[in-house]
Chains A and B, each alone.
Chain A
Amino acid sequence: MGMTMTQKILAHHAGLETVTAGQLINAKLDIVLGNDITTPVAVNEFKKAGFDQVFDKDRVAIVLDHFVPNKDIKAAEQSKTCREFACEHCVSHFYDVGKMGIEHALLPEQGVVTAGDCIIGADSHTCTYGALGAFSTGVGSTDMAAGMATGMAWFKVPSAIRFELKGKLPANCSGKDVILYIIGQIGVDGALYKSMEFTGEGVASLSMDDRLCICNMAIEAGAKNGIFPVDNVTRAYMEGRCERQPVEFSADADAEYEQTIEIDLSKMVPIVSCPHLPENTKPATELSEIKVDQVVIGSCTNGRMEDMETACRYLKGNKVADGVRCIIIPATMQIMKECVERGYVTAFIDAGAVVSTPTCGPCLGGYMGILAAGERCIATTNRNFVGRMGHVDSEVYLASPATAAASALTGYITCPKEV
Chain B
Amino acid sequence: MNTHGKVFKYPDNVDTDVIIPARYLNTPKAEELALHCMEDIDTEFVKKVQPGDVMVAGWNFGCGSSREHAPLVIKTCKTGCVIAKSFARIFYRNAINIGLPILECPEAAEEINAGDEVKVDFDTGVIENVTTGKTYKAQPFPDFIQNIIAKGGLLASLKED
Contact = CB atoms under 8 A, between A and B. Distances in A.
A126 B28 CA distance: 21
B8 interface: no
Interface residues of A, number: 53
B28 A142 contact: no
B60 A189 contact: yes
Interface stretch (A133-141, A168-176, A313-321): A133-141
A188 B13 CA distance: 8
B89 A140 contact: no
Interface string A35-58: 001101100110011100000000
A230 B30 CA distance: 42
A75 B26 contact: yes
Contact of B66 (A44, A67, A122): A122
A222 B17 contact: no
A75 B24 CA distance: 10
A365 B22 contact: yes
Contacts of A124: 64-66, 90
Contact of A78 (B21, B22, B28, B159): B28
Interface in A18-42: 24, 37-38, 40-41
Given A49-B155, A139-B90, A71 B66 contact: no
Interface in A355-402: 364-366, 370, 383, 385-388, 392
A348 to B, nearest CB: 26
Interface string B87-101: 011100110011000
Interface of A: 24, 37-38, 40-41, 44-45, 48-50, 66-67, 71-72, 74-75, 77-78, 81, 121-124, 126, 138-143, 145-146, 149-150, 154, 188-189, 192-193, 219, 222, 224, 277, 364-366, 370, 383, 385-388, 392
8 contacts: A45-B155, A67-B25, A77-B27, A146-B97, A149-B158, A192-B88, A385-B64, A386-B17
Given A124-B90, A143-B154, A188-B13, 7 more contacts: A41-B72, A77-B27, A124-B65, A142-B154, A146-B158, A219-B90, A392-B40
Closest CB pairs A-B (n = 4): A140-B68, A140-B94, A74-B26, A49-B155
Interface of B: 13, 15, 17-18, 21-23, 25-28, 40-41, 59-60, 63-69, 71-72, 86, 88-90, 93-94, 97-98, 142, 144, 153-156, 158-159
